[in-house]
Amino acid sequence: MKAIKLKFITPKTALYIVAAFIIISSCKTDGIDKTKITSSMDIPAHVEMKAILTSPPNVPPPTADRVAKKLIVDMEILEQEGELTNGVKYVYWTFGGTVPGSFIRTKIGDEVEFHLKNHPDNKLPHNIDLHAVTGPGGGAESSFVAPGHEKVFSFKVLNPGLYVYHCATAPVGMHIANGMYGLILVEPEEGLSPVDKEYYVMQGDFYTKGKHGDRGLQPFDMQKAVDEDADYVVFNGSVGALTGDNALTANVGETVRLYVGNGGPNLVSSFHVIGEIFDKVHVEGGDLINENVQTTLIPAGGAAIVEFKVEVPGSFILVDHSIFRAFNKGALGMLKVEGEENEKVYSGEQRDDIYLPEGGGIQTMPSTNEIPESEIPAKSMAERMEFGKQIYMQTCFACHLGEGQGIAHAFPPLANSDYLNADVTRAIDIVLNGKSGEITVNGEKYNSVMTAQNLSDEEIANVLTYVYNSWGNSKKEVTPAMVKAVRSGN
């Protein structure tokens, strides 16, 4: 028997073998041989999982470093009545019962099995066109579904980004205008970088038979939609959807990421957060990143991802900076930030000096001799409060904010206000005729301007009743007769 000669491996050779093993192993993750993957189409989907869908402004948890899955998306179409603004009802057509529809979060390489159900109580057929889909109609051709039926189709997500989905049943514009849109996120293989807070915000324009603020159930107006004459431009389906108790929240020092979409159907959004600068913007929801951005343009049927770190506390207002849409049609939201002040970043008012340049004129209040017609009178205190809140959100919110807290050193608070509660006749007169010059409210001096408001007696009675019965005030009820008496000088 011939003896076997053993050959020992030198340390240098062993190092080469280990290095080669590491290189080979790195090409295989979770059983995937990455050397054989040449495009996102080649990424295999592993076990099946059900997608977590969330209602706005919430988003599902990040995909992080999970591998591609067979992702089951189960979505129901619902036609249901909701409130567009206080006293204004509207029948929304929805994906998942909300406007915008449920947020869908996927990972590059996922194989999505989409179940689209049309509730049997609905009146119309619908479908879905997902801009993240590579295929006929973005899925619309495969998903046309009648009430009481369910359609199932599948697709593979090939391109990372933030995409709009919407109904594409004829007339397409009408289905979108009634609220049938949402966002689907396709995360890259490595996932998105971690942030502290993530929110879902989507703009849309609405067209009603009645004019802005007309109460009752308002049907869709096709001619206004064709003319692109929107009565309402809103975030997340209604006026005030992101204000008051529904405001977004964060803490000083946190990084906030907003997934912002624009369902349209017509208007482009000039998205801006007052008092913040976007550190990063994923332009049009894609790979291109712009930095240090003040306002980003989001087309109808488009999206953007914006990120910023909040450095100081306060109320930061989200707007479409086509600014009359924000303060007159509803495209306005709020981010409330809590935490310690940082005077190195923002000091607040330091002094208030008198400035009287030579030749300067005396400031006068804008006025009009036109008295607007009174609207349908409130039939109860509850209705007066409801209608008053509507006027407040349209007219007073920008200066006095959602809870009457005002803006420090600029606009006085209406909440628990000694100045307001001391004299209701004076309050009516200020709304009618405006006010300029210095006043003292709750021990603080304010020297600013409030313009006269072109409101009817009924509207002034409603909004002042709402203010007096909110935020710790005296609970007075103001009537149209009281307003008429002040207007006439009696």
Tell me, yes or no, if the two domains 41-194 and 198-338 fold the same way. Answer: yes
Residue 3's pLDDT band, with cuts at 50, 70 and 90, is very low
Q: Which residue type, as a one-letter code, is found at position 310?
A: V
Write down the pLDDT at residue 437: 82
Instruction: Give, as one character, the DSSP assignment of residue 54.
Output: B
Question: SS in 3 state form for 336-394?
Answer: EEECCCCCCCCCCCCCCCCCCCCCCCCCCCCCCCCCCCCCCCCCCHHHHHHHHHHHHHH
Q: Which tens digit of pLDDT belongs to each residue from 5-24?
A: 334 445 454 444 444 444 44
Active-site position among 190, 228, 287, 291: 291
Judge whether residue 475 has pLDDT over 90: yes
**Cα distances (angstroms) measured from residue 438 to each of 20, 153, 307, 406, 421:** 79, 66, 39, 16, 18
Q: Which residue type, as a one-letter code, is found at position 306?
A: V
Give catalytic status of residue 115 as yes or no: no
Active-site position among 75, 167, 334, 482: 167
Instruction: State residue 392 phi and psi, 5-degree precision.
Output: -60, -45
Q: What percent of the chain has pLDDT over 90?
A: 70
Q: Is 243 exposed, middle or buried (0-12, 13-18, 19+ CB in 10 A)?
A: buried
Judge whether residue 352 has pLDDT over 80: no
Residue 358's pLDDT band, with cuts at 50, 70 and 90, is low
Give catalytic status of residue 166 as yes or no: yes
Mean pLDDT across 113-138:
97
- SS3 of 158, please? coil
Q: Which tens digit of pLDDT belongs to each residue from 78-87?
A: 999 999 998 8
Active-site position among 46, 115, 321, 409: 321
Give catalytic status of residue 167 as yes or no: yes
Q: Where in the chain are the domains? A: 41-194, 198-338, 381-488
Give catalytic status of residue 126 as yes or no: yes
Judge whether residue 473 has pLDDT over 90: yes
* Residues of each annotated binding site for Cu cation: 126, 131, 166-167, 175, 180, 321
Give catalytic status of residue 46 as yes or no: no
Judge whether residue 238 has pLDDT over 70: yes
Mean pLDDT across 402-419:
87
Judge whether residue 124 has pLDDT over 70: yes
Write down the pLDDT at residue 40: 64
Give catalytic status of residue 272 as yes or no: yes
Instruction: Give, as one character, the DSSP assignment of residue 321.
Output: S
Instruction: Give, as one character, the DSSP assignment of residue 246.
Output: G
Q: What is 198-338's CATH superfamily?
A: Cupredoxins -  blue copper proteins (2.60.40.420)
Residue 394's pLDDT band, with cuts at 50, 70 and 90, is confident
Give the Cβ contact number of residue 31 at 10 Å: 8
- Round to whole Å and give the CA distance between 392 and 468: 12
Mean pLDDT across 18-41:
50
Q: Which tens digit of pLDDT belongs to each residue from 243-282?
A: 988 999 999 999 999 999 999 999 999 999 999 999 999 9
| CATH of range 381-488; options 1.10.760.10, 3.20.10.10, 1.10.150.650, 3.40.50.880 | 1.10.760.10
Whether 396 contacts 417, CB under 8 Å? no
Give catalytic status of residue 365 as yes or no: no
For the chain, the C-alpha Rg in angstroms (whole number) is 28
The token pair that represents 80 in the structure block: 């249901």
Q: What is the mean pLDDT of the chain?
A: 88
Which CATH number is 41-194 given? 2.60.40.420
Confidence (pTM):
0.77
- When comparing pLDDT for 363 and 237, which is higher? 237
Active-site position among 189, 205, 243, 272: 272
Q: Is 114 exposed, middle or buried (0-12, 13-18, 19+ CB in 10 A)?
A: buried
Residue 2's pLDDT band, with cuts at 50, 70 and 90, is very low
Write down the pLDDT at residue 369: 53
- Beta bridge partners of residue 302, listed in sequence order: 262
Write down the pLDDT at residue 9: 46
Whether 248 contacts 199, CB under 8 Å? yes
Q: Which tens digit of pLDDT belongs to each residue from 273-309?
A: 999 999 999 999 999 999 999 999 999 999 999 999 9
Write down the pLDDT at residue 213: 87
Residue 236's pLDDT band, with cuts at 50, 70 and 90, is very high
Write down the pLDDT at residue 20: 46
Q: Which tens digit of pLDDT belongs to each residue from 87-97?
A: 899 999 999 99
